[in-house]
């Protein structure tokens, strides 16, 4: 006997692959199941007379028989068996999100969103840095020729071990670096600055010649030249 307010319905079945019931085949609320091995689909007609798919299992997927744990996702082995597993990476469109490390930041690297504590060629806007920061530092002996590379650090701690001719990188507007230039134990080493280095009043400073003493310089690029200034001399 039907429950009050409910009407008995028919359940239809077919073994014809890919068969989908038409509106005329069902009454509203009635069900049709396709039990073909390649389909296993369940359909119903709603109150508006539209046939909708309630379930479609075209490849005979085997679902997990027990629930997974919190945070797990459903994965497939590629052969129709589904299981719960802990995600090692999630692909959204063409972007893959990998697991993170506490304290690291997420970034997008050619479609892979991962985590790092090293950023390369990033533009930061309106940044507030708390608790100070540390510049990358390069420490080296100059010999008689030395090429400044900002990829090695923006604080250059250099010891003159010969009369040195410097080569600076291209003066990209907005770049700057600091140099601490000191004499070795011999002292009286001289410096030849690149033509792209410009000093106040077009006059290069006289560097400290005393052995083991040093000077501090700051260089800022305007897009054409490196504008140099003396921040202090005769240190140590």
The 10s digit of each residue's pLDDT in 112-123 is 666 666 666 777
Residue-range definition of the domain harbouring residue 122: 88-131
Q: Residue 214 above 70 pLDDT?
A: yes
pLDDT band at 111 (very low <50, low <70, confident <90, very high): low
Number of domains within the chain: 3
- Overall average pLDDT of the 31-59 stretch: 81
- pLDDT recorded at residue 71: 79
Same domain, 223 and 179: yes
145/215 same-domain check = yes
pLDDT tens digits, one per residue of 196-210: 999 999 999 999 999
Neighbours of 61 (CB within 10 A): 13
Question: For every residue of the chain, which 3-state class applies, written as one string?
Answer: CCCCCCCCCCEEEECCCCCCCCHHHCCCCCEEEECCCCCCEEEEECCCCCEEEEEECCCCCECCCCCCCCCCEEEECCCCEEEEECCCEEEECCEEEECCCCCCEEEEECCEEEEECCCCCCCCCCCCCCCCCCCCEEEEECCCEEECCCCCCCEEEEEECCCEEEECCCCCCCCEEEEEEEECCCCCCCEECCCCEECHHHCCCCCCCCCCCEEEEEEEECCCCEEEEEEEEEEC
What's the pLDDT score for residue 104? 64
Domain co-membership, 152 together with 102: no
In a domain, 34, yes or no: yes
Residue finishing a domain among 98, 131, 164: 131
Answer whether residue 67 is part of any domain: no
Is residue 5 included in any domain, yes or no? Answer: no
Residue 76 within a domain = no
Q: Are residues 227 and 157 in the same domain?
A: yes
Are 99 and 21 found together in one domain?
A: no
Residue 79: inside a domain: no
pLDDT value at residue 89: 62
The region, left, alpha or beta by phi > 0 then psi within -120 to 50, assigned to residue 65 is alpha
**Which carries the bigger pLDDT value, residue 68 or residue 2?**
68
Can you tell me the mean pLDDT for 38-61?
79
Q: Is residue 125 a part of any domain in this protein?
A: yes
pLDDT band at 73, cuts 50/70/90? confident
pLDDT at residue 58 in the model: 60
Q: Is residue 63 part of a domain?
A: no
Mind listing the pLDDT tens digit for each residue in 92-101? 666 666 666 6
d(CA 58, CA 18): 9
Q: Is residue 154 part of a domain?
A: yes
Look at residue 9 in the predicted model and tell me its pLDDT: 82
């Amino acid at each position: 006997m039907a429950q009050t307010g409910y009407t008995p319905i028919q359940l239809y079945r077919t073994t014809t692959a890919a068969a989908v019931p038409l509106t005329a085949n069902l009454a509203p609320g009635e069900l049709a199941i396709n039990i073909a091995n390649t389909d296993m689909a369940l359909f119903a007609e709603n109150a508006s007379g539209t046939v909708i798919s309630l379930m479609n299992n075209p490849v005979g997927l085997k679902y997990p028989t027990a629930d997974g744990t919190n945070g797990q996702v459903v994965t497939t082995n590629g052969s129709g068996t589904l299981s719960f597993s802990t995600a090692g990476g999630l692909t959204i469109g063409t972007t893959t999100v990998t697991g993170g490390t506490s304290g690291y930041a997420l970034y997008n690297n050619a479609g892979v969103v991962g985590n790092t504590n090293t950023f390369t060629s990033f533009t930061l806007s309106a940044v507030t840095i708390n608790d100070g920061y540390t510049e990358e530092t390069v420490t080296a002996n100059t010999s008689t020729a030395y090429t400044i590379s900002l990829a090695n650090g923006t604080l250059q701690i250099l010891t003159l071990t010969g009369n040195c001719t410097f080569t600076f990188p291209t003066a990209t507007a907005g770049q700057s670096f600091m140099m601490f230039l000191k004499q070795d134990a011999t002292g009286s080493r001289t410096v030849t600055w690149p033509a792209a280095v410009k000093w106040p009043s077009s006059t290069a400073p006289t560097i400290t010649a005393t052995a083991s003493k040093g000077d501090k310089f700051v260089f800022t690029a305007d897009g054409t030249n490196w504008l140099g200034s003396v921040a202090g001399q005769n240190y140590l």
